[in-house]
Amino acid sequence: MLFLQKYILPPIIAIFYWLWVHTWRFRVLEHPEFKAAMQNGAVAFAHWHGDNLVLVRIGRMYRCASLASISSDGELITRVLKIFGFGIARGSSHRAGVQALVGMIARVKEGYNPAIAVDGPKGPMHKVKPGIIYVAKHGQIPLIPTGVAMSSALIFNKAWDKTHFPWPFSKVVVSFGAPIESRDKEEGALQLELENRMMIEQKLAQSKI
């Protein structure tokens, strides 16, 4: 089973995903200030947990780094994400959580851009948690509010985050907003500002569907 999980399943999943997502009518919106921030160094992409399956599509394009748990499922996810060019920081919300965030800062130093599901790993849905603020402040990088919208999708309604995976040939839009500087700002205020800005980007993405 371990051999299957490490060496057989990851490439099968990756091939299936690659074929599926390349049927999408995919569009990325980039705020001019976002483009400038990318040219100046690393950024931290803030997105909702339910958008995870969509955003694997852009991992290599934006040299993203992701968090993955230290469970056996996390090992499988890690191997799949590495196929798509992701840097990985391993950890858990219950064990080694701080280690994972420190690992993410290490990925920043290696040239990756953290992509963090800000309401994960277990919600509440669309409420920003402080982990990404920690990474942004200690990594001295700006936050990028990210919005995702799609014309149609398979929705996992029983999941707390209502994970969605666009159907083949769906229109999919990802919107990257202007950066939010984390220096000299209080954590709670940053969380609220990021939450509001992410909602704006989601509405912008939806308007382009």
19 located within any domain: no
Give the range of the structural domain holding residue 189, as residue numbers without chain letter.
Answer: 24-207
110 located within any domain: yes
8 located within any domain: no
- Give which of 41, 34, 196, 191 is closest to 116, Cα–Cα: 191
pLDDT digits (tens, 9 = 90+) for 132-151: 999 999 999 999 999 999 99
Summary mean pLDDT of the chain: 95
188 located within any domain: yes
193 located within any domain: yes
4 located within any domain: no
10 located within any domain: no
Number of domains in the chain: 1
- pTM higher than 0.85, yes or no? yes
CA angle 167, 121, 12 (to 5 degrees): 45
178 located within any domain: yes
